[in-house]
Amino acid sequence: MLHVRNLTSNDLSLIDLVVQAAYQQPGSRQKALQQYVALQADGWFVAEYNSALAGLVGATVYDAFAYIGMMSVLPSMQRRGIGRALMEHLLLWLEQVHCPVALLDATPAGAALYQHFDFVAVDTVEEWRQASAQRISVVDYPHGWRVDTLSLVDLAQLVTFDAPYFGAERTALFSLLLSEMPQRAFVVRNHRDAITGYLFARDTMLGPWVACDEQTAELLFTYALSLSLATRHVIQIPGANQHALRLVERYGFSRQRVLTHMCRGNDDLSRQRANIYGQASYAWG
């Protein structure tokens, strides 16, 4: 018997194992799941098959659209309609909260399922990984420019800068990330003290990372890599941002995989993906 219900905190350790098995990638995602639930507690759902956890999906609702992520079905439970049931449940919930547009990043295996639900391809997302952990020198930047550590007092200005590029305001996401990593987010200001870009350096993930020009983007990138960081970094780059792809390759990153960026609904949003250098995650956009 198949049943879909809300994810609870008691599910996290077991559903983490489901996700690892589904993506065939070792390493716990429990911290990420805790963050996703903290940001959108009512938007995460699990599937039970004969009372055993078998699948997961969730969404974060912004003011103009939702971002869907972490679609996972236990390999031994696939081809039983679990993925379809999860997506049907999630899309019905999005209708109930009056969110008509949904975005997601699909693996080749998942794209066919999403097409069944009227998602269409609008771009790609490329995952790039640093070949080896290394410190990089910060590039020179114009007189009067500076790199600052972001803090909560910058939040309103950061949200105002980011929204035209992302297509929605992300106050709750930025607040969460800043509270958990207060010294790992950076902003570039020009000689007029205006924000020209920002980057969150989170554990292995570089992102969200947005810049209004290539010079700002490289300054943020090299600044983050100049820190004493022991891990190899991962970046999720929109295919629309060709400069970002060339930039990270120049600094020793290599392409790992390419996903399809898909949309369901009337996507008349003024998103500027060519200025998004790194996503926050596949579940946050």
Q: pLDDT at residue 133 above 80?
A: no
The label of the residue with tokens 């938007």 reads 43
Residue 119 lies in a domain: no
Residue 217: which CATH number? 3.40.630.90
- Within this chain, do residues 86 and 140 fall inside the same structural domain, yes or no? no
Give pLDDT, residue 14. 94
Residue 135 lies in a domain: yes
Residue 42 lies in a domain: yes
- Within this chain, do residues 138 and 23 fall inside the same structural domain, yes or no? no
Give pLDDT, residue 44. 98
Domain closes at, from 50, 82, 100: 100
- Within this chain, do residues 161 and 274 fall inside the same structural domain, yes or no? yes
Residue 152 lies in a domain: yes
179 is in which domain, residue-wise? Answer: 128-278
Residue 107 lies in a domain: no
Give pLDDT, residue 190. 95
For the chain, what percent of residues have pLDDT higher than 90? 83
Give pLDDT, residue 26. 77
Residue 141 lies in a domain: yes
- Within this chain, do residues 60 and 159 fall inside the same structural domain, yes or no? no
Give pLDDT tens digits for 50-85. Answer: 999 999 999 999 988 999 999 999 999 898 999 999
- Within this chain, do residues 149 and 260 fall inside the same structural domain, yes or no? yes
Give pLDDT, residue 230. 57
Mean pLDDT of the chain: 93
- Within this chain, do residues 271 and 133 fall inside the same structural domain, yes or no? yes
- Within this chain, do residues 268 and 136 fall inside the same structural domain, yes or no? yes
13 Rama sector, left if φ>0, alpha if ψ -120 to 50, beta otherwise: alpha
- Within this chain, do residues 133 and 273 fall inside the same structural domain, yes or no? yes
- Within this chain, do residues 40 and 132 fall inside the same structural domain, yes or no? no
Query: Count of domains in the chain?
Result: 2
Q: What is the pTM for the complete model shown?
A: 0.94
Nearest to 117 by CA among 146, 158, 89, 79: 89
Residue 85: which CATH number? 3.40.630.30
Cβ distance 124 to 258 under 8 Å?
A: yes
- Within this chain, do residues 75 and 201 fall inside the same structural domain, yes or no? no
Q: pLDDT at residue 275 above 90?
A: yes
Give pLDDT, residue 25. 79
Give pLDDT tens digits for 134-185. Answer: 778 899 888 999 999 999 999 999 999 999 999 999 999 999 999 988 889 9
What are the residues whose beta carbons fall under 8 Å from the beta carbon of 38, sequence distance 6 or more?
Answer: 176
Give pLDDT, residue 267. 74
Give pLDDT tens digits for 173-221. Answer: 999 999 988 889 999 999 999 999 999 998 889 999 999 999 999 999 9
- Within this chain, do residues 62 and 133 fall inside the same structural domain, yes or no? no
- Within this chain, do residues 147 and 90 fall inside the same structural domain, yes or no? no
Give pLDDT, residue 229. 61
Residue 114 lies in a domain: no
Residue 109 lies in a domain: no
Give pLDDT, residue 240. 96
Distances in whole angstroms, Cα of residue 51 to Cα of each of 85, 88, 180, 260: 15, 19, 35, 33
Give pLDDT, residue 34. 95
Domain closes at, from 58, 82, 100: 100
Confidence at 37, pLDDT banded by 50, 70, 90:
very high
